[in-house]
Amino acid sequence: MTIYEADITKTSQSIAVLGANGHTGRFVVAELLRRGLKPIAIGRNAERLAAAGFAERGIECREAAVEDDGELDRALAGAAAVINCAGPFMDTADAVVRAALRAGIHYLDVTAEQPSVQATFERHEVAAREAGIAVIPAMGFYGGLADLLVAAVMDEWEHADDIEIRVALDSWLPTRGTRVTGERNTARRLAVSGGQLEPVPQPPAERVSILPAPFGRQTFVELPFSEVPLIARHVRTKELHTFLSTTALRDVRDSSTPPPQAVDESGRSAQRFAVEVIVTQGDVRRQIVAQGQDIYAVTAPIICEAVQRILSGRIRDIGAKAPAAIFDAANFLQALGPDLSVEISET
């Protein structure tokens, strides 16, 4: 269902990508091109933009520092939306959202950081609604995907007793950006306990689950990401907890783990992922499992699908919102079919 179509449909199909020369940013630029949209590659260093080879593909490049409002305003000129791939988002999101508000364009980012999501909602919800734009933090693998999966599996349920999200990675070869963000993100992680956002107890809880091949039996430890403040904002639940596989946690905590290595011409790594969501209401238990390849690469179709839906008016609300509060979750996930397999069951 479309609401605010007159307000949000833009004639421009140019999409600004901040941090375009980064690992995730390059996937996003390529996905925009594949969808027939016109990316504008933005970075703080002209030499790095040049080294990324954007100009050779006819992609306009613009240089801008997040700390300079004037540079940001010039970099976003003529765009219909901005995708922020430049983390840590605790350092960049606020400035870029404010620039998007000044320009009257939509804002999306790919943060996994809980404090960044919370700050975006708290600071910009009213201004975004008044400006008639969508502001969606965490529209990527961490955050947005789990939010959409929860909404899809809950379907007609208006509340849940318990929601558990289990993220399994057969490996986690972290990018430099992931490592920098991890060093900066020292805030206590939050989950929902007793219907309230609360710090995750120490030591964190563990879970064991049997997932489809190639994973099998997996051990998980509680480690929530940006999905918690997204889901908690629009879903009533007594409990909400996210768990990460110990294999992934071991990799990302090892300073000697190398960065991702491309195994195909698209630049994807061989990494496989599975996200299992279990929602309980009374005696009924619903489960949804999503699987795919490369958590950084899959972020591109997720966020680009969001941009395309916003520009075409296929949204249910406006303002600073969680993905599932703006999009039809089941339909959105179905559109990701080539990049994501999804199965739902109920017991």
For residues 191 and 305, membership in a common domain is answered with no
Decide if 56 is inside a domain.
Answer: yes
pLDDT at 31 over 50: yes
> Does the global pTM surpass 0.75?
yes
pLDDT at 347 over 90: no
For residues 268 and 304, membership in a common domain is answered with no
pLDDT at residue 10 in the model? 55
Averaged pLDDT for residues 256-274: 96
Percent of the chain with pLDDT over 70: 97
CA 85/CA 88 separation, integer angstroms: 9
Decide if 334 is inside a domain.
Answer: no
Domain count, the chain: 2
Decide if 125 is inside a domain.
Answer: yes
For residues 32 and 95, membership in a common domain is answered with yes
pLDDT at 17 over 50: yes
Predicted confidence (pLDDT) per residue in 82-135, tens digit = 999 999 999 999 999 999 999 999 999 999 999 999 999 999 999 999 999 999
For residues 316 and 195, membership in a common domain is answered with no
For residues 196 and 133, membership in a common domain is answered with no
pLDDT at 273 over 50: yes
| Nearest one of 320, 324, 284 to 145, comparing CA atoms | 324
Decide if 323 is inside a domain.
Answer: yes
CATH number of the domain that residue 35 is part of: 3.40.50.720
For residues 154 and 289, membership in a common domain is answered with yes
Decide if 242 is inside a domain.
Answer: yes
Host domain of residue 320? 5-140+299-329
Predicted confidence (pLDDT) per residue in 204-222, tens digit = 999 999 999 999 999 999 9
For residues 171 and 254, membership in a common domain is answered with yes
For residues 291 and 314, membership in a common domain is answered with no
For residues 153 and 194, membership in a common domain is answered with yes
CATH number of the domain that residue 290 is part of: 3.30.360.10
For residues 74 and 106, membership in a common domain is answered with yes
For residues 285 and 311, membership in a common domain is answered with no
For residues 291 and 173, membership in a common domain is answered with yes
pLDDT at 283 over 60: yes
pLDDT at residue 186 in the model? 85
Torsions phi, psi of 49, nearest 5? Answer: -65, -45
pLDDT at residue 337 in the model? 93
Predicted confidence (pLDDT) per residue in 43-88, tens digit = 999 899 999 999 999 999 999 999 999 999 999 999 999 999 999 9
